[in-house]
Amino acid sequence: MKINIEERKNIAKTYDPKQVEDRLYAEWTAKGYFHAEIDCRKKPFTIVIPPPNITGRLHMGHALDNTLQDILIRWRRMQGYGTLWLPGTDHASIATEARIVEAMAEEGLTKDMIGREEFLKRAWEWKRVYGGRIIEQLKKLGCSCDWERERFTMDEGLSRAVKEVFIRLYRKGLIYRGERIINWCPKCRTSISDAEVEHEEKEGNFWHIKYPVKNGDGYVVVATTRPETMLGDTAVAVHPEDERYKDLVGKTVVLPLMDREIPVVADEYVDKEFGTGAVKITPAHDPNDFEVGLRHGLPQIKVMNDEAQMNENAGRYKGLDRHEARRRIVEDLEKLGLLLKTEPHVHSVGTCYRCGTVIEPAISEQWFVRMKPLAEPAIEVVRNGAIKFIPERFARIYLNWMENIQDWCISRQLWWGHRIPAYYCGECGFIAVEHEKPDSCPKCGSRNIEQDPDTLDTWFSSALWPFSTLGWPEETPDLKYFYPTDVLVTAYDIIFFWVARMIFSGMEHMGREPFKYVFIHGIIRDSLGRKMSKSLGNGIDPLEVIEQYGTDALRFSLTIGNSPGNDLRMSYEKVEAGRNFANKIWNASRFVLMNFDDKPDFSRINPDKFTDADRWILSRINTLAAEVTDNLEKFELGMALQKIYEFIWEEFCDWYVEMVKPRLYDRDSEGRTEAQYVLNYVLGTAMKLLHPFMPFITEEIYRHLVNDGESIMVSEWPEFREEFCFPEAEKRMMLVMEAIRSIRNVRAEMNVPPSRKARAVIVAEDEEDRMTLQNSRNLFERLAWASEVLLKPDREGIPANAATAVIPGAEIYMPLEELIDLGKEIERLEKEKAELEKELERVGGKLGNPSFVAKAPAKVVEEERNKQVKYREMYEKVLERLDGLRSLRSSKGAGK
């Protein structure tokens, strides 16, 4: 794979990612560089990928998440760790099942028509065809995953782990089956967990309804935001210490519309201060009412079916959709004179995170994980710092969630997923929880046994991902070597879904934390800070970006300016900046290579021939290596890239390459080989530091440079080298560069073209500084267009009319008449003056016209006023400058 000497100078004129990226990726794969071997001499470094859904197509969020992981992985690999990045995909039960159902609908088929077995055949076929798509897209992104270890949440090994966990938790009493209020999505037709419910502020009403007290004793008024649930009311509750209702407790009220008699109960759950202090109790449709119902032995009446239509318990409203039922019920109450008032009310409404449908809390028999005992060690391990969140503030969010955790509803009324390993006896009702279906009931011997039809929440299997992928429950060598993993990289939006569940699962089943760091990044927004969405049409497709600008440019744009935990603004400008950077690197590298000897021999370089410029750049990249390493250790990836970018662009390309040109152009110059050596070394080191961020261009350049390795991927990460630490040379070069920069600034301010050379008189009191500047005269001539440089210890004899620049330790004077042509400059300024006078007159006329000021839009008047201020300022400056130049001309004239 190494290129030979002839090829070195034939490096392409321009950088074309298309000619490079796929070729290099294929070579890396063929060489096995991504594959991790267990090597006890090396410290392991492991990341498990957040498995993308098989329904997924690479979006910017994935691109960001995986770029960050690849940076960490490539860096640690170069540092010599036993590095594993374990990839895989998630079966994504709800999302995938929805796709299959959609596809079937086009053929006029439903799940019930084809049955479970046929449905699963279709799902697996779908997975076979589309499941690998996102993996191929991750490869386009340059991800250096160990593809030999790719896993899938429903592959054989992981499915065994899922069953094992279910059985163990069931036997410990940590998984139970019970009736609870769950979040029901009528569209997805399944229960979903609390974490999957999104809360939105919605405008609604508080309906105040009169419930007549039996035997004509007046009314009790309750308020509700969901009147349709009243059909399932089984009580009215008041606070036991509420004086207003003392006499009412124990009495009976008549449920309007249903004419059902229900009791008034006293319960401390009721808030005396809220509303009327009396609340309706609907145990089958509200989690709090459910608890009240249990305390008072109230019946549970479900009034809706799975599609959120009113059912047979809803009397005359049976068959109506819940929204229509609400409308009719309110109407009927009004007719009966039982609606006291309707009060507009903004309240939080739970919606399904997948489809956005309003969730219907409903009673249901489901499987649950008992969370409190599992949460304890998961809280402790974050409190004691064994797991650290980056940035730290997310630990508080995590802890707050875990400390208030509710039991986790894990059963889903779906077919695609891990089927619950519970078997029910049709005779005696015994539940057997086993790996395989028992032949007969262990209790009564009956052969009438059915498996639970439900599947497990997708997150049940992804919670096991850090150890199930390494072979658990077997004690595999992989598990021993690579677990616990090192870093989990993820966006903040799945801390509860996934991160929290991996932590308690790791603690419960492995007895150890699943990872040491949780590196949280933000979500991608557009340049205006809005979320990227289909409806706004502001999304950027990473695959299109790769096609157009190359992967390195995309990765650059996702990393630069990125700080842990914060959202990232993405724009084509950033991608273009990445592409421009790649081009800058390419052009500088090409220049370096073109100026190498045919057979450069660096074994005989003489460090004594290093110039200050050589020592400065060697010292600078030395410092850069140390700083970048430090930034990476702290997960400051954006800052690390910013430093590398500035070093390559400014210090290396704009300064050093310019400084060494004369030594390269002159074949006989002293220290020519040394210059080539330094160029090769610094460029090579810079490419290594940049490699994790922009893997392709760095590899391509590295191979053209003189080096011993065959790939930058397996080269050594640059370390700080004592012998390349030159603080004195750095200080001297800083002075020279500062002086050159200030001369350039003066010239730019005065619009002096490079063709016009001017003397520079530099006054520096310190003798050493004078020596330094004196020794760099050739740099001033080439980089600051100085015709001549004079060094002086004091100001004696410096030109009177000179442009001046002051830098720490020195003052620089450039005779004005050498910088500009007085006559021409005065002429130009006079023209400018006349134009400004005309403009001022125009604006003044407009603003002096009362009808304009009165009639024009305020914004237009404001603009004119701003213009006036600006023109006045410019006018003053022109006058001042003209005065200065005129007096200069007359003093010169007088001197003659």
The residues of the shown chain that bind Zn ion, judged by CB under 5 A, are 185, 187-188, 352, 354-355, 357, 425, 427-428, 430, 441, 443-444, 446
- Give me the least distance between CB of 360 and Zn ion, in Å please: 11
- Give me the least distance between CB of 429 and Zn ion, in Å please: 7
- Give me the least distance between CB of 284 and Zn ion, in Å please: 20
Nearest 5°: CA angle at 852, between 848 and 854? 105
d(CA 658, CA 592): 11
Quickly list DSSP for 323-353. HHHHHHHHHHHHHTT-EEEEEEEEEEEEEET
- Give me the least distance between CB of 111 and Zn ion, in Å please: 16
- Give me the least distance between CB of 414 and Zn ion, in Å please: 11
Instruction: Go through 398-433 and write b for each residue having 16 or more CB atoms within 10 A of its CB, e for each that does not.
Output: bbebbeebebbbbbbbbbbbbbbbbbbbeeeebebb
- Unique residue bearing structure tokens 């220049």: 591
- Give me the least distance between CB of 365 and Zn ion, in Å please: 19
CB 778 within 8 A of CB 739: no
Cβ distance to Zn ion smaller for residue 315 or 356: 356
Cβ distance to Zn ion smaller for residue 55 or 505: 55
Respond yes or no on whether the N-terminal peptide bond of residue 299 is cis (omega within 30° of 0).
Answer: no
d(CA 56, CA 136): 12
CB 709 within 8 A of CB 715: yes
Radius of gyration of the chain (CA): 38
Q: Is 360 exposed, middle or buried (0-12, 13-18, 19+ CB in 10 A)?
A: buried
The SS3 call for residue 253 is: strand
- Give me the least distance between CB of 459 and Zn ion, in Å please: 15
Q: Is 397 exposed, middle or buried (0-12, 13-18, 19+ CB in 10 A)?
A: middle
Cβ distance to Zn ion smaller for residue 192 or 301: 192
d(CA 51, CA 65): 11
Can you list the positions of beta strands (E) in 41-122?
44-48, 82-86, 88-89
Cβ distance to Zn ion smaller for residue 412 or 732: 412
- Give me the least distance between CB of 187 and Zn ion, in Å please: 5
Cβ distance to Zn ion smaller for residue 238 or 441: 441
d(CA 486, CA 481): 12
- Give me the least distance between CB of 95 and Zn ion, in Å please: 10
The SS3 call for residue 301 is: coil
The pair phi, psi for residue 721, each rounded to 5°, is: -115, 120
Q: At what angle do helices 727-749 and 612-633 cross, to 10 degrees?
A: 100
Q: CA dihedral in degrees (156, 161, 162, 165; nearest 10)?
A: 160
Cβ distance to Zn ion smaller for residue 170 or 394: 170
- Give me the least distance between CB of 115 and Zn ion, in Å please: 23
Cβ distance to Zn ion smaller for residue 422 or 545: 422
The H-or-E segment that residue 826 falls in is helix 822-848
d(CA 245, CA 237): 10
Question: Residue 852 is encoded by which pair of tokens?
Answer: 């304009």
- Give me the least distance between CB of 113 and Zn ion, in Å please: 22
- Give me the least distance between CB of 32 and Zn ion, in Å please: 44
Question: Residue 418 is encoded by which pair of tokens?
Answer: 């891990």
The pair phi, psi for residue 130, each rounded to 5°, is: -105, -15
N- to C-terminal Cα separation, the chain: 73
d(CA 286, CA 228): 12
- Give me the least distance between CB of 422 and Zn ion, in Å please: 13
The H-or-E segment that residue 431 falls in is strand 431-433
Cβ distance to Zn ion smaller for residue 431 or 714: 431
- Unique residue bearing structure tokens 């210090």: 651
- Unique residue bearing structure tokens 């020195």: 810
- Give me the least distance between CB of 120 and Zn ion, in Å please: 21
Residue 873 C-beta-side C-alpha neighbours within 13 Å: 6
CB atoms within 10 A of CB 344: 8
Cβ distance to Zn ion smaller for residue 366 or 772: 366
- Unique residue bearing structure tokens 């059902």: 260
Cβ distance to Zn ion smaller for residue 244 or 323: 323
- Give me the least distance between CB of 183 and Zn ion, in Å please: 10
Cβ distance to Zn ion smaller for residue 114 or 358: 358
Cβ distance to Zn ion smaller for residue 417 or 695: 417
Cβ distance to Zn ion smaller for residue 231 or 449: 449
Cβ distance to Zn ion smaller for residue 147 or 430: 430
- Residues in Cβ contact with 398 at an 8 Å cutoff, skipping those fewer than 6 apart: 382, 389, 495, 499, 500
Cβ distance to Zn ion smaller for residue 352 or 582: 352
Bridge-based pairing state of the strands 515-521 and 388-390: parallel
The SS3 call for residue 45 is: strand
- Give me the least distance between CB of 352 and Zn ion, in Å please: 3
Cβ distance to Zn ion smaller for residue 39 or 450: 450
d(CA 531, CA 546): 21
Cβ distance to Zn ion smaller for residue 440 or 890: 440
- Give me the least distance between CB of 569 and Zn ion, in Å please: 30
Quickly list DSSP for 498-541. IIHHHHHHHHHHHSS-SEEEEEEE--EE-TTSPBP-TTTT----
Bridge-based pairing state of the strands 260-266 and 252-255: antiparallel
